[in-house]
Structure 1
Amino acid sequence: MIENSYVRSITRLGHLLDWLPSPLGSILILVFAAGIALLSSRIITDALPRLPGLRRVQFIHAIIARLRAPIRNGLMIIAASAALQATVGFTDATTSFLEQVFICLFILNLGFGIIRTFRLLTDQYLTRISARDHADDITVRSHQTQIRVLRRLIEISFGVLTVASSLMVFHSVQKFGVSLFASAGAASLIVGLSARPALTNLIAGIQIAVTQPIRMEDMLILNGDWAWVEEINATYVVLRTWDRRRYIVPISYFLENPFQNWTHSSPSLIASLFLWLDYQTPVDRLREMYFEELAKCPDWDQDKTSIGCQIADSNAQVMSIRLIAGAPDANSMWDLACDIRERMLRRLRLEMPECLPRGRTAIVPGAPEQNAWPDALVAPPVNRPQDGPYRGPDMPVSPPAATPGRP
C-alpha cells in the first residue's frame, strides 16, 4: 500500500515534467526521489538521538554516528529504485540495467553497513573490558589480540563475499563466474601460486589469534631493539620502538623465527645492573647501602624475593657486583636500573671513595742486587731528605744530591 502510494505520487510529479525530454524528466525524478530520501534520513538521524529517552544512551549515539552514512545511502537507493517504476523515459534495457545497479548498490551498502556495525560492537566490548579496574593486563591484551585479528579476517572475508554477491547481479558477471567454475582446477592452481604469501600471512594471523605468541602492547626484542606491538593486522604487524620508529613485519615471521617476548606470561621484569668496584669494597656494607637506596626507588615493585646483591665476577683489577630488583613492567625496569646505578655511585663517591676502581702499578728490580727505582730514572734529580718521617728504618743514608751548576 505504501509503495503504491509512493509510486502514484512520483507519477503525478512526472506529469509535471512532461514538457521536458522523457529521459531528462526520468533522471530528474530519480534525483528528486533520492533528494527527498536524503532529507528525510538527515531529519531522522539528527532527531533520534535527541529524544528524551535516548539522550543518555551512549550506545544509541555511537551506532547512529557510525551508521549515519549507510542509513542515508540505503534510503536513497530504496527511494530511487521505487521511483524507477514511475519513469517512462528509459528503454527496457536501460530500466533493467538501472534495476541491477540499484540492487548492486543496495547489497554493497548493506554489507559494509553490517561490517561497520560489527566493528562498533567489538570496539564497545574492547572499551568495556579495558575500563575494568580488576581486569588482568594479560587478559585484556589477549582479548584485544584475538578480537582485532579475527575482526580483520572476518571483515576481509565478508567484504569479499559482499562484493562478489553484488557483482553476481549482472548477467555478464554470472556468465564469467560459470566459466570460471568450469576451469576451477587450473584457476585454483594459478591463484594459489600467486597468492601464496598473502594466504600464508592470513593463516598465520589465525594462528596468532588462537595461540597468541604475541599480543597487543607486548614488548619484543627485534634486531636488538626494544619494540612494542602497536598493531596486529591480517597480514603484518606494526612494532613501535622506544625512539618512535616503526617496524613493519610480516605476521608469518613470528611463527617461523625465534624472538624474545618479555611480557608473554607477566608484564613484571627483573632489572639487573653491574658495578665494577675495587677489592677493598666491604660487600656487607655495600649490600646494606643497596637495600637502603632501593627502598627509595619509586619504580621498585616491593617484591623482596627478587632482590639481590652478589659478587658476580672478578679479574686482576676489579670485582663485578650484580644488583637485581623487580619492576612492574619494561619501562619501569629500565628506569629502575638507571635510578639504582645513579644512587649507588653517588653514595660510593661520597661515603666510600676507596671502593671505586683504581689502577695498581708494582715496580720491581731487574736483578736482586739492583734497586727497584734507580736514581738514573728520575728526571730531573730531586733532593731526598736524609732524615725525617718519610725515611724508612731500613733506608740507607745517601749523600745529598748534587745541585745543578755546582761541582
Structure 2
Amino acid sequence: MLAAVVTFAGSLLVALLAVTLVHRVVRRIGRRSALFAGLARHAHRPALAVAALVAVQLSLGVAAHGDWRPVALHVTGIALILAGAWLLAALLVVIEDATLARIRVDVSDNRHARRVHTQITLVRRVTVVVVSVLAAAAVLMTFPAARAAGTSLLASAGVIGAIAALAAQSLLGNVFAGVQIAFSDALRLDDVVVVEGQWGRVEDITLTYVVVHLWDDRRLILPTAYFLKTPFENWTRTQSALLGTVELDLDWTVPVEELRQELRHALETSDLWDGRVCVLQVTDAVGSFVRVRALVSASDAGRLWDLRCVAREHLVAWLRARHPGALPQVRVRELPRAAATAPVPAANGSSDNRVFGESADGEERVQAFSGPEQTAPSAQPVQPR
C-alpha cells in the first residue's frame, strides 16, 4: 500500500513539475511571440489536467490492486478524455487567435481582412462544437451498454436522422446559413448594412444569428437565414466609399449655377469630403417647387452622413442669407417676368452638373452603367418591283 501511495505521489509530482517548467519556458518565449503567449495563456490549465490524469492512470495501472481498480481506471479514463478535449479546443483557439492577430482590420481597405476574420470566427465555433461532440461520444463509448445501444441504433440511423432534421429544421437551417455566409463573402464582420429599415454595422456573426450594431447603439439580432432569404443593403461589399444625396425643394427663382458653386465651396472647405463627386442638378420641376439634388461622396458611411448634414445646413443658411426669395413659398400674385437680358448659364458650362461624364469618376460611372454599344444596321437598298 505504501509503495502504491509513493508511486502515485511521485508520478503526479513529476508530471506537474514538467508542465510547470514547460509553461515557464513558453511564457518567456511568449514575450516575443504572440503564438507562444497564447499557448501560455490558454493551454496551461488543460495541460496540467492532462498531465495529472496521465500520471494517475499510469500509477493505477502499475501499483493499484483490488476490486476498486477497474472503476478507478474507468473514471480516470473518462476524465482524461474530457481533459484531452479541453486541451485540443484550447490549442485550436490559440492557433485561430494567432492567425487573427496577423491580419489587421484597422486599415482603410480591410475588406479581405474582415472576410478572413468572419470565416475564422465561425470555424472556431464549429471546431469547438465538433470537439465537444466527439468527446461526449468517446465518453459514452467507454460504457459497454452504450456501445451495444450504439450498435443497435446504427440500423435505424436514417429514421432517427430524418426525425431529428424535421425537429430541428429551423436550427439546422440557421447553422447552414451561417456557414454559407462565412464562405460566400456576402456578409462580413464590420460591414455597414441596412436591414429592416435600420442602418448599422455587423458586430457579431454566429452559427445561428447575426448581431447588427445600429447607429443609435441599439442591437438588432437577426437569424442567419434572414440574410439568405431577405434582400438587404451592404454598403461596404466591395469598398467603403459611398455617394449620398441632399435634396431641397426650392422656388423657381433659385440661382442654380450660384448654388452649384456654393456647394463646391462648402465641400472643399470640409475635411469630410473625399474629393470624388460634387454634383448639383435640378431633378424635378413640377408644380410650385423646383427639386434640387446635390450628390456628394465620402470615404465611409459615417463621414457621408455627417457630410450630407453639413452640406444641407450650409446650403440652407446660404439661401436664407443671399437669396431668401428662392426659399419655398406659395405665390398669391403673379410675379413680374424676368428681364430678357438675364444671363442663362450654358448647359455644359460646369462639370458639377453631370453625374455621368465630364470627370474621371463620371467616366468610370459611364463605363459601369452603360450597356454594350449597339451597331447601327446598314441601310438595305430598296429592290425595284
Common fold: TM-score over 0.5: yes
CA distance in 2, matches of 1:219, 1:289: 31
Match of 1:327 among 293, 298, 308: 298
The reply to whether residue 108 of structure 1 matches residue 82 of structure 2 is yes
Q: Cα offset for 1:112?
A: 2.7
Q: Cα offset for 1:116?
A: 1.9
Equivalent residues, number: 334
The reply to whether residue 83 of structure 1 matches residue 76 of structure 2 is no
Could you say what the CA RMSD is over the residues aligned between the two structures, in angstroms? 2.6
> What 5-or-longer segments of structure 2 have no aligned partner?
335-385
Match of 1:98 among 69, 72, 75: 72
Q: What SS is found at the alignment partner of 1:129?
A: coil
Match of 2:124 among 124, 129, 151: 151
Q: Partner residue of 2:165?
A: 192
The reply to whether residue 47 of structure 1 matches residue 24 of structure 2 is yes
Q: Cα offset for 1:37?
A: 6.1
Match of 1:313 among 276, 280, 284: 284
Q: How does 1:173-322 map to 2 (within 5 A)?
A: 173-303=146-276, 306-322=277-293
The amino acid across from 2:77 in the alignment is I
Q: Partner residue of 1:73?
A: 49
Q: What SS is found at the alignment partner of 2:257?
A: helix
Q: Cα offset for 1:88?
A: 4.8
The amino acid across from 1:321 in the alignment is V
Q: Cα offset for 1:132?
A: 7.9
Change beyond 3 A, Cα 1:185–1:288: closer
Match of 2:5 among 7, 14, 39: 14
Q: Cα offset for 1:131?
A: 6.0
So what's the TM-score if we normalise by structure 1?
A: 0.75
CA distance in 1, matches of 2:15, 2:306: 57
Indicate if the aligned counterparts of 2:105 and 2:113 stay in contact, CA closer than 8 A: no
So what's the TM-score if we normalise by structure 2?
A: 0.79
Match of 1:136 among 106, 109, 115: 109
Match of 2:144 among 163, 171, 174: 171
CA distance in 2, matches of 1:13, 1:84: 8
Q: Cα offset for 1:173?
A: 1.9
Q: Cα offset for 1:90?
A: 4.6
Moved over 4 A (4+): 32-35, 86-90
The amino acid across from 1:113 in the alignment is L
CA distance in 2, matches of 1:165, 1:123: 27
Q: Cα offset for 1:38?
A: 7.8
The reply to whether residue 340 of structure 1 matches residue 343 of structure 2 is no
- Which of 216-225 and 286-295 deviates more? 216-225
CA deviations 1:294-324 (Å, max 9, x no partner) are 1112111111xx3210111234332111011
Q: Partner residue of 1:379?
A: none
CA distance in 1, matches of 2:288, 2:129: 64
The amino acid across from 1:308 in the alignment is V
Q: Cα offset for 1:35?
A: 6.7
Task: Pick the structure with greater CA Rg.
Answer: 1
CA deviations 1:227-281 (Å, max 9, x no partner) are 2111111121111111122222111111122222222122111111112222221
